[in-house]
């Protein structure tokens, strides 16, 4: 099942979640409308079809934990942080399209995009006061730091795969993606009144889910028929070294290393890289890794009491593992 379809199915299942998401959307709209000259660009990005993945998993973890505290401010904070990170990523990558809409840096220029991302982060920080004393504030501050470090590590490896290890890749994937998803899960659980042990299990689930989520995204970048709406091999063309490349590179892959280093690649060179990665069995190995991380995510929920929300989290992990 396609991931976005899975999320939509879960929304229909939980009427309370739908209400919370509508409240969050109202908050997001108000925040975008209050951005002055930046409002138009922010409204365009906010309404361009994001999955709201992090707010939804936070809500499910909150519900499982007992929903003792407020959740909508956290959901809004997570979406603001995520959108701000995408705006800043688009600046770094020089991206012109995001979610089928023109990026702010393309439409309004880089200065407007920088200010837009900073504005969203500032508004997210305003919501931290709701969770003072719970540990959520400190955790999300750490996530912001890790995201920056993860991005810098990735940028430091642009067009350079030689010597890059799976462990190094996992470290910057944790910083860029998994830590945020893990803390979205734990934050929701803490907001709901979860114990430390319960919250740790939820964090473990989110960590494994986040690694699988990013590896799946890496995998789909190589699969032209994946139906994601993204240009195939975009990461490869832009010099990002993802798991597929790392799995294919070995001491005997001099030709692959040579091609990966080229800042501009012809279509024939792109085809050659694709063939070398395919012949190395990297696609099949990546599928196995994604399935393993999803299985570990499911196992992390073993001590969590059964509920429709737990079943939804389990199904979400299964859907991420379904790559072909």
Per-residue model confidence as pLDDT tens digits over 125-167: 999 999 999 999 999 999 999 988 888 888 888 888 777 788 8
**Cα dihedral sign for 6, 9, 14, 15?**
positive
Q: Which CATH number fits domain 3-321: 1.10.3720.10, 2.60.40.10, 1.10.600.10, 1.10.150.120?
A: 1.10.600.10
Q: What is the pLDDT of residue 1?
A: 44
Comparing 13-22, 83-92, 218-227, 270-279, the range with the smallest average pLDDT is 218-227
The residue with tokens 């991302």 is: 117
* Phi (first) and psi of residue 51, to 5 degrees: -75, -20
Does pLDDT of 245 surpass 90? no
Does pLDDT of 20 surpass 50? yes
* Domain ranges for the chain: 3-321
Q: What is the pLDDT of residue 95?
A: 80
């Amino acid at each position: 099942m396609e991931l976005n379809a899975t999320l939509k199915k879960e929304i229909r299942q939980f009427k309370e979640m739908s209400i919370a998401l509508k409240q969050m959307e109202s908050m997001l709209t108000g925040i975008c409308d209050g951005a002055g000259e930046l409002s138009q660009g922010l409204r365009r990005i906010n309404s361009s079809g994001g999955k709201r993945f992090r707010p939804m998993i936070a809500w499910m973890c909150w519900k499982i934990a007992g929903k003792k505290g407020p959740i909508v401010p956290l959901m809004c904070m997570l979406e603001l942080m995520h959108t701000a990170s995408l705006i800043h990523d688009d600046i770094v990558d020089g991206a012109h399209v995001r979610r089928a809409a023109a990026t702010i840096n393309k439409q309004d220029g880089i200065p407007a995009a920088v200010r837009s991302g900073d504005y969203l982060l500032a508004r997210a920080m305003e919501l931290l006061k709701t969770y003072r004393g719970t540990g959520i504030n400190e955790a999300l501050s750490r996530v912001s730091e890790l995201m920056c470090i993860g991005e810098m590590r990735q940028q430091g490896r642009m067009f350079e795969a030689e010597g890059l290890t799976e462990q190094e890749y996992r470290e910057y994937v944790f910083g860029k993606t998994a830590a945020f998803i893990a803390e979205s899960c734990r934050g929701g659980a803490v907001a709901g009144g979860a114990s430390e042990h319960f919250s740790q299990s939820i964090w473990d689930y989110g960590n494994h889910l986040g690694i699988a989520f990013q590896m799946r995204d890496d995998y789909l970048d190589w699969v032209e028929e994946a139906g994601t709406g993204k240009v195939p091999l975009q990461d490869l063309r832009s010099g990002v070294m993802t798991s597929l490349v790392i799995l294919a590179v070995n001491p005997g892959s001099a030709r692959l290393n040579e091609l990966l280093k080229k800042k501009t690649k012809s279509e024939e060179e792109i085809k050659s890289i694709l063939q070398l990665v395919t012949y190395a069995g990297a696609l099949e190995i990546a599928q196995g890794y994604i399935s393993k991380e999803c299985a570990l995510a499911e196992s992390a929920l073993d001590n969590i009491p059964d509920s429709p929300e737990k079943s939804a989290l389990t199904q979400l992990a299964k859907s991420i593992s379904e790559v072909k």
